[in-house]
Structure 1
């Protein structure tokens, strides 16, 4: 007596008959639960049936089993004058059966394929079951002299266009200036020559730094992103570097004396690097940056 489940009563019954190896006429069916679909999958219930095997009549014993029992009785039991009840039947000793030898299953080694980069093609050899990968060619293709010359000409043209663009921008600011350009393979230094130096530099170099960021964006949009642009006014960059070095040393002394963190004014990234580099070998202080551009600033703190 076993309970079976299914999507429908018929499906549950079929599953039970298959498991019990019986037919529908050989079992008694009792439906325990009807299937329910539920709403949006909630409350769904499968059909449940109980199958009970019917008792088999004695007449259903196969004739073959009876004949096998008859063969097991000794022939002497059929002699006259001997009662069949007095004859002890000997059960035939089952013949020894030789179990078939289990054949050894030969398992062929499976080739192992390892993951390879997209640029590599794995080559599998079935005999050795190994993977041979061809290394990707990471060598950059060499450029021809004509390509190098064309690239250099394009960069020079981009720098000339940038110079004209910057002169027009400063003209809109009311500043009359000339440009002295120093151009190399990966750099371009543009030095303004003007009588209004302070107006072009701005407070703490904010105006010239903003123009430098604008110039770098211009070069990026004209396919010369690898060219680093620096704008200068009357050697302002050199004088600013000396000022930052003195500022780093004085700030370090203040941090050591007070034992507190000292915050500097917000600076562009290349000026913050100068402060970090100047105090990198100082064993008494440490430096780090806080904030987000354009308000990111260097912090100098005493080592504990």
Structure 2
């Protein structure tokens, strides 16, 4: 399977609904930052049928939240808060201090290494466990390079296997 999450599983939302999700998420995150006494500027963007909320700037305390596990936890909490307000699942993405871009670069490096191993004769390469968002990024990167990928495993242990086409 090259595209793990088909668009059919999620209802298409209007731009207004996606922007509203982003606003609700930003309000929730702003409240959390206030409780933690952290500063940060919130930016909301809509692309690829997702609301993206980024927290940037601020002080060095924000850096502690920029690790992948903390960002994923904040994203999960924020999604639940938005879902509680709207009554529907949201696919919003939370980014802290550019951590999503940094992780995307790491994932590209993982794909580089996997492709090199396949080019050297390996039949397949299994990558580390990662979130559904990260797996989606890797699926797309692998497909762009002309290889195929498949998700295997369950829950937090779900990972990708990359093979030649």
Task: Give TM-score scaled by structure 1 length.
Answer: 0.41
Query: Is 2:111 the partner of 1:264?
Result: no
Whole-Å Cα distance in 1 between the matches of residues 136 and 164 of structure 2? 19
Determine which of 100, 103, 109 is the counterpart of 1:240: 103
Structure (1 or 2) with the greater helix fraction: 2
Whole-Å Cα distance in 1 between the matches of residues 92 and 26 of structure 2? 13
The match for 2:55 is: 191
Assess if the C-alpha contact under 8 Å between 1:289 and 1:296 holds in 2. Answer: yes
Assess if the C-alpha contact under 8 Å between 2:124 and 2:161 holds in 1. Answer: yes
The match for 1:207 is: 70
Question: Structure 2 regions of 5+ residues with no counterpart?
Answer: 1-15
Tell me the matched-pair count: 147
Offset of residue 154 of structure 1: 6.8
CA 1:158–1:291: 2 relative to 1, 3 Å: same
Assess if the C-alpha contact under 8 Å between 2:22 and 2:92 holds in 1. Answer: no
The match for 1:177 is: 39
Question: Structure 1 regions of 5+ residues with no counterpart?
Answer: 1-148
Query: Is 2:113 the partner of 1:250?
Result: yes
Assess if the C-alpha contact under 8 Å between 1:163 and 1:179 holds in 2. Answer: no
Whole-Å Cα distance in 1 between the matches of residues 104 and 22 of structure 2? 28
Whole-Å Cα distance in 2 between the matches of residues 159 and 240 of structure 1? 21
The 5 Å alignment of 1:268-279 reads 268-279=131-142
Offset of residue 281 of structure 1: 4.0
Determine helix, strand or coil for the equivalent of 2:155: coil
Whole-Å Cα distance in 2 between the matches of residues 209 and 221 of structure 1? 18
The match for 1:158 is: 24
Whole-Å Cα distance in 1 between the matches of residues 151 and 22 of structure 2? 36
Offset of residue 163 of structure 1: 2.5
Assess if the C-alpha contact under 8 Å between 1:248 and 1:275 holds in 2. Answer: yes
Whole-Å Cα distance in 1 between the matches of residues 30 and 62 of structure 2? 19
Assess if the C-alpha contact under 8 Å between 2:25 and 2:78 holds in 1. Answer: no
Offset of residue 231 of structure 1: 1.8
Assess if the C-alpha contact under 8 Å between 1:188 and 1:228 holds in 2. Answer: no
Q: Point out the structure with max Rg over C-alpha.
A: 1
Task: Give TM-score scaled by structure 2 length.
Answer: 0.70
Instruction: Tell me how large the CA RMSD over aligned residues is.
Output: 3.3
Assess if the C-alpha contact under 8 Å between 2:26 and 2:44 holds in 1. Answer: no
Structure with larger RCO (C-alpha < 8 A, sep 6+):
2
Whole-Å Cα distance in 2 between the matches of residues 156 and 260 of structure 1? 42
The one-character-per-residue Cα deviations of 1:243-287 (angstroms, maximum 9, x if unpaired) are 22232122111133242432211111111111111111444x421
